[in-house]
Amino acid sequence: MSSALSRPMEYLWFGDRGRPVLFFPTSMGRFYQNEDFGLTGALQDKVDAGWLQLICVDSVDTESWYNKKIPPESRARRHDQYDHYLRDEMFPYITSRTGGNIVTVGASFGAYHAANAAARYPGVVTKAICLSGLYDVYQFLDGYWDDTCYAHTPMASIANMDEAWKQKLRQVEWVVATGENDSLVTQNRAFAALLERQGQRVQAEFWPGVFGHDWPFWKEHLRRFI
């Protein structure tokens, strides 16, 4: 039972040695999605060799950003509770079992979660692999904006970081990648460029001639990034 969210939160854990890799599902996905679509399986040999441990968390997207039945302020507040779940419950648990040095991984809306976690908790998260992602939540807010929305929009918060926070963020190694024909490629290019302007370590890839926003592409390229 999560105290931050006041409900049970399920997860999967693969491996018992190695660097922890925290997987987020795509839009409104569940904790088992990355296993079902083979993303964790693409790293199975590295798990078996003791190099990696894979943790697949659940999301509350249907209760937060995607929940059109509640006001946008409430959507942002629910996501902030999810952030507290990560910060106060999952990250300490993962660190206690593995020693820390967490990698976040996400594709599509999962890349938003991976990026947001890294931007907010650099040092706890030391690498973020963001595949075919989006990095703002404007489209979910119906014109609403407040400090909570700002704090959970990497494109906004990273752009306005002071030098002290830029230095903290340099603890994170960033990967931003998708196909050059992805409908989100412009946003991915913009996010990679923002990180570069802020003096961050970023590996940006835009695969030529392909859409890239699908599981076969993510499976193919993930192994190179971790």
Look at residue 4 in the predicted model and tell me its pLDDT.
Answer: 98
Distance CA 59, CA 128 (A): 17
16, part of any domain:
yes
State the residue for tokens 């943790």.
Answer: 55
Per the CB < 8 A criterion, the answer to whether 134 and 187 are in contact is yes
Look at residue 211 in the predicted model and tell me its pLDDT.
Answer: 96
2, part of any domain:
no
116, part of any domain:
yes
184, part of any domain:
yes
Per the CB < 8 A criterion, the answer to whether 13 and 53 are in contact is yes
Look at residue 50 in the predicted model and tell me its pLDDT.
Answer: 97
The pTM score is 0.97
Please tell me the total count of domains within the chain.
1
State the residue for tokens 């490629």.
Answer: 185
State the residue for tokens 């460029």.
Answer: 193
CATH code for position 118: 3.40.50.1820
Distance CA 121, CA 173 (A): 13
For the stretch 106-158, pLDDT in tens is 999 999 999 999 999 999 999 999 999 999 999 999 999 999 999 999 999 99
1, part of any domain:
no
pLDDT mean over 34-47: 97
Per the CB < 8 A criterion, the answer to whether 174 and 130 are in contact is yes
179, part of any domain:
yes
Would you place residue 99 in the very low, low, confident or very high pLDDT band (cuts 50, 70, 90)?
Answer: very high
Q: How much of the chain exceeds pLDDT 70, in percent?
A: 100
Nearest C-alpha neighbor of 116 from the set 132, 98, 134, 102: 134
Average pLDDT, rounded, for the chain: 97
Per the CB < 8 A criterion, the answer to whether 176 and 130 are in contact is yes
63, part of any domain:
yes
Look up the domain containing 215 and give its range. Answer: 11-225
For the stretch 186-226, pLDDT in tens is 999 999 999 999 999 999 999 999 999 999 999 999 999 99
4, part of any domain:
no
Distance of CA 128 to the CA centre of its chain: 7
Per the CB < 8 A criterion, the answer to whether 221 and 214 are in contact is no
Distance CA 93, CA 187 (A): 33
Distance CA 212, CA 179 (A): 4
